[in-house]
Amino acid sequence: MNTINTIIINGMSFTLPLFIMAIGGIYSERSGVTNLALEGLQGVGAFFGALAAYIATLQLGSKSVAPYYLAMIFAMIGGMLYSLVHALLCIRFKADMVISGVVINILAMSLTAFLTKSINRTVFGAASDKIILGVSTRFTVPGISDIPVIGAFFTNVYPFEIIIIVVAVITWYLLYKTSFGLHLRAAGDNPAAVDAAGIDVSKIRYLAVMMSGALSGLAGICFAYSISAKFSSDIYVGYGYLSIAALIFGGWRIMPTLLACFIFGFARSAGYQLVQKLELPSAYSDLVMILPYVLTLLLLIFLAKNNQAPRALGEAYDKSKR
């Protein structure tokens, strides 16, 4: 397999989970709720998904594909439920949204580490701080995969990549082609007008934040099945913040955000390939990890300054002051 194909294959497996998490952030922030908690939401979601997959594997056997898809479902449920903490703090109690997001992230890392160790020790009788999943199987589409360059997009594909594409299309349609999406976007720009129209701003924001939790959880379990092959504290490595940078660069719009995720994903993949081609020491592979973040800084400095955030982003809505 040539270098270009490898960059594309590995780049896609990183880009798509990052993208679906960024869409979750778009939903939350377009409704007016600043969401720096994506990192924690994807971690908690991955924990619930990994735990469900591990239990299901014990019951059904390692050859069953059911644990893989159960992991996706439970990761979305776990991320959605945990996002309610952020929603309650920001919407019900009108806490500072930035501080809430940071606290949610810190709490997620500590809580999942404690639960992982406790469950492994008391239930499974193994003192471990991780839940082993293994790397997901892949598939190749016959025929089209033989086309130069383009075929790489259909080679060694993770099943979760197809799931993410389907979910992304559905979320795009909901946000831009339905009355719910219209109300959600209006809640982030002019919540008073939404309220005056008889629509519950708080309800919309709750649903938007829960959507961000579900999509972040899905991203988290996808990273666990591809990059780390397990759930552990390694899942909290900044991908949530990177997805936030992508949505800001994309102007809180889904398609431009996809472009940003492609840039980050392929920069990461190309960096690893460069290290291998130059036969550099393994320590340089860790250095490559910073490439997406360096690009983030450059893009935000030179390109994102003209992006217009939702006008009511970060503002708690008080109906009594309308």
d(CA 176, CA 216): 20
Contacts of 296 (CB under 8 A, 6+ apart): 242, 245, 246, 249, 264
- Token couple for 281: 């020491």
Mean pLDDT confidence for 263-287:
79
Q: Give 96-150 pLDDT, tens digit per residue.
A: 999 999 999 999 999 999 999 999 999 888 888 999 998 889 999 999 999 999 9
As a whole number of Å, the end-to-end CA separation of the chain is: 62
Q: Give 151-189 pLDDT, tens digit per residue.
A: 999 999 999 999 999 999 999 999 999 999 999 999 999
Q: pLDDT class for 315, splitting at 50, 70, 90?
A: very high
**Number of residues that make up the chain:** 322
- CB-based burial label for 9 (10 Å; 0-12, 13-18, 19+): buried
Q: Give 48-71 pLDDT, tens digit per residue.
A: 999 999 999 999 988 899 999 999
Query: Could you tell me the CA-to-CA distances from 18 to 97, 98, 107, 149, 206 in Å, in that order?
Result: 22, 21, 21, 22, 22
Q: Half-sphere exposure (CA, 13 Å, Cβ side) for 306? A: 3
Query: Closest Cα to residue 31, out of 191, 174, 193, 254?
Result: 191
d(CA 258, CA 247): 8
Structurally, at CATH architecture level, domain 3-321 sits in Orthogonal Bundle (1.10)
